[in-house]
Structure 1
Amino acid sequence: MTEEAADTRSYLVVLNDEEQYSIWLADRELPLGWRPEGTRGSRAECLAHIGTVWTDMRPLSLRIRMDGAATGGTRATV
């Protein structure tokens, strides 16, 4: 049995202000800047959920800046 298969702990899918995803043990206090996304389950279930919903890995601030540049708004700087 692999270590991952033996892990029976419950995890949460968490999200930060930049809409980046991670998992966190459900029985631990979340670090500052992270909030529960609403999904709870095994490590594998949580990672599978993230794989489904996190389709754009760019941080929110970059997506906003790039969308603004694409529509003729504020020019993105590098």
Structure 2
Amino acid sequence: MSTAHAEDRYVVVVNHEEQYSIWFADRALPAGWTATAAHGSRQECLDHIEQVWTDMTPRSVRASR
């Protein structure tokens, strides 16, 4: 059963490998993740990630090519 509500706010986060996720805006970020300027509803954040995360290959793998 989901505990999420329509009023929940999220922030888009990114890690050192340039992988994206969403996180509840009112919670401390997990270690290794940095908040981006993108925030809003769950769907708004997921839409933003879809637009900006065009290559899901981790940064370290891209750099080794």
Q: TM-score higher than 0.5 here?
A: yes
> What displacement does 1:38 show?
1.1
Identity of aligned residues (%): 55
For normalisation by structure 2, the TM-score amounts to: 0.91
State the number of aligned residues. Answer: 62
Structure 2: gaps spanning 5 or more residues: none
1:53 aligned to 2:52? yes
CA RMSD of aligned residues (A): 1.1
Higher relative contact order (CA 8 A, sep 6+): 2
Aligned partner of 2:40 in structure 1 is 41
Matched residue, 1:32: 31
Structure of higher CA gyration radius: 1
1:36-76 deviations in Å (ceiling 9; x for gaps): 0110100000000000000000000000001xxxxxxxxxx
Gaps of 5+ in 1: 67-78
Runs (4+) of structure 1 moved beyond 3 Å? none
Choose between structure 1 and 2: higher strand proportion. Answer: 2
Give the SS at the match of 1:28: coil
